[in-house]
Chains A and B, each alone.
Chain A
Amino acid sequence: MSRYVARRLAFLVITLLLTSLIVFVVTQWLPGDVARVILGREASEPALAALRAELGLDKPLPLQYLSWLGRFLTGDWGTSYSTGLPVRDLVLERAGNSTMLAGLTLLIAVPLSVFLGVVAGLKADKPLDATISIGSLAVVGLPEFVTGLILIEVLALRLHLFPANSSIRPGTGFFEALPQLVLPALTATFVLLAYVTRLTRAGVVEEMRQGYVRTATLKGLPRRTVVGRHVLRNALLPTITVLAISFGWLIGGLIVIENVFNYPGLGRLMTFAIDRRDLPLMQAITLLTVLVFALANLGADLLYAALNPRIRLE
């Protein structure tokens, strides 16, 4: 097991380094002269040169990358071009908000989608399964802003159950923000629901075909025991990986959802940064997201290996 963990960790570090290199190339090298991006078109040549020296832009690219990465790792994430505030404070505050939203989403989505997937899988090719499967297939591709607008129309504007706007003030706690979190979390749930349900169903269907299920049934075990004791243990294993992957899905989805509901999370901050061409802000948000995503994947892999010894030996 420890060899497996070490290998996964090394793999994680390589992936993160390569990803940071991609982010660096995209944000530092692709835009051309960063000094001009900051100072604008009318800036004088001496001012540009001074800023280039200050930012280290006159040094060779590999050196720039290393010092950029070093500063990032030591917690110096730079100053936001558009607001003049330290990037780290901005990003970490918004990250907290996004975490609240993601947490509530997972709390609703995971039990619900696993339940639906298991039901659909056990009733494979019966009307109930067809309903769940086609329903999830239809919803799986709906862009989050369409789902979100439908929910706003029905639950906020017609039934007045929840507020349509989720622009909470900085420093609002989870329970205080809860009413405003519900609609965005439900929207995100739809995105995950369809995806996780489909894959859970596939796992259950696959497992129900195995020989040991027939053996257990033929030796007279009640169906509940066959399913609960034998099938689900195996069928739900891949769901762990699926959940980790859907976490990345969730991150992407949250960018749109936060914009639909005006929720002050990382996604909203990202579109703000793009509007203002605020490169340090964009870098920090991307790197933080990638880190969280990669850690979630690692966690899922390790959990999977802990539960399924066959993996470790490969």
Chain B
Amino acid sequence: MTVNGYNISSMDGYTAGGGGSDPASLFSEERRRGLAAAFSRVGRALRELYARPASALGTTLVLVFFFMALFGPLIAPYSATEQIAGAARQAPSLQHLFGTDHLGRDVFSRVVLGARDILALAGLGTLLAVTIGTLVGMFSAYRGGWVDEISFRLFDSLLALPALLLALLLLGVVGPSRSSVLVVLVIVYVPIVARVVRSVVLSTKQKGFVEAARMQGESTASIVRRDIFPSVTPALTVEAALRFSYAIFLVASLGFLGVGVQPPNPDWGLMVSQARPYVSLTPWALYFPAIAIALLVIGVNLAADGLKRVLLPGRES
């Protein structure tokens, strides 16, 4: 939820900020004070997303999965790992909505509980990558010089490795686990985020108001925070949403390849690959987690596209 809350709240600071709004509003006291105002902002952002059918559908899907992640243990009738005696390979029924797998585990419960796994992992990975990437991108671009040059040469070389290949290489060396997947997400996405932020900062740096702030004798930290960061937020929000969708994609793919989250955790990608040998006996054990991945990814993509249209109007594709 953090990612979503972050997206929506930071977005409005921009759309509303024509001429009058304070550029420092993201950090100032008045912002913390206005909890009620924040709620109305989220409401307005949601209304904008619900204005178009495609992004409305996407947002709804995302919200449903977040609901599942939050209240999963209350919804799921069984535990994710419980092998119900005498109930292996059952077709979907009222007892087992999505049937049971070859080990007698309730597929519905595993899918519902798996939502928390993938959203937490992808969400936390995105949040860390976006935070670190933003800090690195902003300071390095604002400072310029050789620090900027070296760090971005290094980032470019990291980007020369296709993301999945880099992820596999790292996981192959450190061994698969949930925490290594998290570290891998951060390593893979920090350079990309830093690049996006850097390019926005480089163009903002030339603007008159930054020049004016510098002449007033403001410190670098304060200029970056109060003058540069607000102009980065729209692009950053869209980037965060995109990263989130790729992160879900990557976590699911790594799970499928068997190098991500390990059994018996209810990781959707892992569930798909474990159900494959038994596809003729228990097709439902394969299709329901696959459908869950598909719906979540489509939802995030449509919502991210909607955010982009709201925050960065005029930029196609």
Contacts and interface: CB of A to CB of B under 8 A. Distances in A.
Interface of A: 14-16, 18-19, 21-23, 26-27, 30-31, 134, 137-138, 140-146, 149, 198-199, 201-202, 205-206, 248-249, 251-253, 255-256, 259, 270-271, 273-275, 277, 279, 282, 286, 289-290, 293-294, 297
Contact of B298 (A138, A255, A277): A138
Contacts of B163: 252
Contact of B293 (A18, A143, A205, A252): A143
Given A26-B169, A137-B301, A18 B161 contact: no
Contacts of B258: 271, 275
A145 B164 contact: no
A204 B153 CA distance: 32
Interface string B188-207: 00000000000000000000
Contacts of B272: 145-146, 149
What does DSSP make chain B's interface, helix, strand, loop or mixed?
helix
Contacts of A249: 162
Contacts of A31: 173-174
A147 B294 CA distance: 9
Interface stretch (B76-84, B97-105, B245-253): B245-253
Nearest to B170: A26
B165 A143 contact: no
A134 B170 CA distance: 35
A191 to B, nearest CB: 11
Given A19-B160, A141-B300, A252-B163, A286 B259 contact: no
Contacts of B249: 141, 143
Given A134-B54, A198-B317, A255 B168 contact: yes
A23 B300 contact: no
Instruction: For the complex of A and B, list the 7 residue pairs with the smallest distance between their C-beta atoms, beginning with the closest.
Output: A202-B317, A18-B157, A274-B172, A252-B164, A141-B297, A202-B316, A252-B162
Contact of B294 (A142, A205, A253): A142
Contacts of A19: 157-158, 160-161
B277 to A, nearest CB: 12
